[in-house]
Chain A
Amino acid sequence: GIQVEQSPPDLILQEGANSTLRCNFSDSVNNLQWFHQNPWGQLINLFYIPSGTKQNGRLSATTVATERYSLLYISSSQTTDSGVYFCAVEPADYKLSFGAGTTVTVRA
């Protein structure tokens, strides 16, 4: 099956800092989504981004499908940004595949 790799696995930030999370995938995909998992376990959809760039407040994402990667940018980080960020891709077999996640800790 498709391989989805996220980096870095862990990220510690000072409040106000910017950061970039990366998602690489091993095969072509129909779409790609970014999620944030809150401390209670719920996955919150951040972006549906099969290609191109999108922005939502302090968050933005870029997917370069031809090069099989996506980036999630967090600007001016806040403590509420802490949690695990997952990249999920939809390959040709339509079985959504997740990366292992990036655990972000934002310190005040």
Chain B
Amino acid sequence: KAGVTQTPRYLIKTRGQQVTLSCSPISGHRSVSWYQQTPGQGLQFLFEYFSETQRNKGNFPGRFSGRQFSNSRSEMNVSTLELGDSALYLCASSPGPTGSGNTIYFGEGSWLTVV
């Protein structure tokens, strides 16, 4: 069974641009959640999607958005990039939503550098 797949793995963007990151969950998993990891703030929850609905959102500005498609694949978008958005963005999937007692499985992440 294939794991959680994130694309692209590495990317460099310029301040002010926007970026879209993609996440394909494990087959059969309907919940996808996103996290940002930086040296200063550590791992922080961005949002969770289940059955195409955003269930939860972390404390991030509106520049951070996401969506989930009917095949459970998810994308997150960051608009008007700032230097502080440079981070490792991690996606995780699980069979059910948070709170349903499921283990979550992470992808390898997307390394974003904003210059």
Contact = CB atoms under 8 A, between A and B. Distances in A.
A97 to B, nearest CB: 7
A30 B42 contact: no
B101 A31 contact: yes
Given A86-B43, A96-B33, A42 B56 contact: no
A94 B99 contact: yes
B75 interface: no
Interface residues on B, range: 20 to 34
A81 interface: no
Contact of B109 (A35, A41, A95): A41
Interface of B: 33, 35, 37, 42-45, 48, 55-56, 58, 88, 90, 92, 97-99, 101, 103-109, 111
B114 to A, nearest CB: 17
A94 B109 contact: no
Contacts of B101: 31
Given A41-B88, A90-B98, A96-B98, A101 B106 contact: no
Interface residues of A, number: 23
Interface in A61-108: 86, 88, 90, 93-101
Contacts of B92: 43
B90 A94 contact: no
6 contacts: A33-B104, A41-B37, A45-B106, A94-B48, A95-B98, A98-B44
Contacts of B48: 94
A86 B55 CA distance: 24
A45 B103 contact: yes
B45 A45 contact: no
A97 B106 contact: no
